Amino acid sequence: MPFVMQFERPIAELESKVESLRRLDKGDNPELHAEIEALHAEIEALREELYANPTPWMRVQMARHPERPKTQDYVDELFTDVIELHGDRAFGDDEAMLAALATFDGTRCMILGHRKGKDTKQNIKRHFGSPQPEGFRKARRAMALADRFGLPIVSLLDTPGAHPGIDAEERGQAWAIAESLAELSAVRVPVVVVDIGEGGSGGALAIGFGDRLIMLENAYYSVSSPEAAASILYKDSGRAEELAGSLKMTAQDLVALGIADQIVPEPPGGAHRDPAMVYRGVADAVRTALTDLCGRPADELVQGRYESLRAIGVIAEG
């Protein structure tokens, strides 16, 4: 059965009712036909109402939809000549982090990206897209390689956050994230970041800071996942929906705050409804960003990143 998001359950119930009535339809019952048509109209009206103005929590659910296009899907659709890099040269290879040389629209570049699985077995292997220290160190190695050879970096964000296990902490999780972020801040090549789904905490920030931040319409980017924030503030992760709006983490919020630069539209209900449309939108946005950034002096790129960070927030003097 297809996955049904929490807010779509009323629609799913009506659709189930329509299917039941269709099984009863022998083609000679006008009243049954009329009831089916009325239910169809009710479904369409409910869809229009739900998708017209999604709440932050609804956008979180769409960002997490299991059928939503993942990093590997974008790599397969938008890039050619892909050569994946493995390992951090210190501990091992983390499959939750993708690093690869590739060609985008005729330009050789470096891809970074969080990698979730397509099924439960893959997700367990990839820690549900939550990198460990060796993943961030692999990403840092790829950043340095891109910097050395003058390759622009395209970074795809889709993680609930860095892996929170004790083993990751023992191997220096916080230090690995900090080093990755420092490396990314200083590279002298263009960095285009695309948030394709979840952008949770330091796990996203470690590869998610650059010269352009492009967000899909229903992606989020936050200092913490709603569940983690609710656990910290209320000792109750069940209040995540309540906190989702306060975190100001949607694409619309971040563009208004001057943190994100562009929103790529999604079809009503999320990117999984029409992946081809979303791939085209992302390709156009990345192409435009690289065309603008690749002609800029390296010093200007680095200084621009510094200034963008300094511009975040409001200072009030009392």
User: Are 36 and 99 found together in one domain?
Assistant: no
Within a domain: residue 317?
Answer: no
State the pLDDT at residue 49: 80
Is the confidence at residue 240, as pLDDT, over 80? yes
**What is the band of 39 on the pLDDT scale with cuts at 50, 70, 90?**
confident
Which range of residues forms the domain containing residue 137? 60-310
Average pLDDT, the chain: 89
Within a domain: residue 21?
Answer: yes
End-to-end CA distance of the chain: 58
Percent of the chain with pLDDT over 90: 60
Rounded to two decimals, the pTM is 0.88
Higher pLDDT, 238 or 21: 238
Within a domain: residue 316?
Answer: no
User: Are 20 and 124 found together in one domain?
Assistant: no
User: Are 47 and 189 found together in one domain?
Assistant: no
Within a domain: residue 284?
Answer: yes
State the pLDDT at residue 126: 85
User: Are 218 and 280 found together in one domain?
Assistant: yes
User: Are 198 and 265 found together in one domain?
Assistant: yes
Number of domains, the chain: 2
Within a domain: residue 295?
Answer: yes
User: Are 123 and 150 found together in one domain?
Assistant: yes
Task: Name residues whose C-beta falls within 8 Å of residue 192's C-beta, 6 or more positions apart in sequence.
Answer: 152, 153, 154, 155, 210, 211, 212, 214, 286, 289, 290, 293
State the pLDDT at residue 13: 79
Within a domain: residue 318?
Answer: no
Q: And the tokens for 76? A: 């397969």
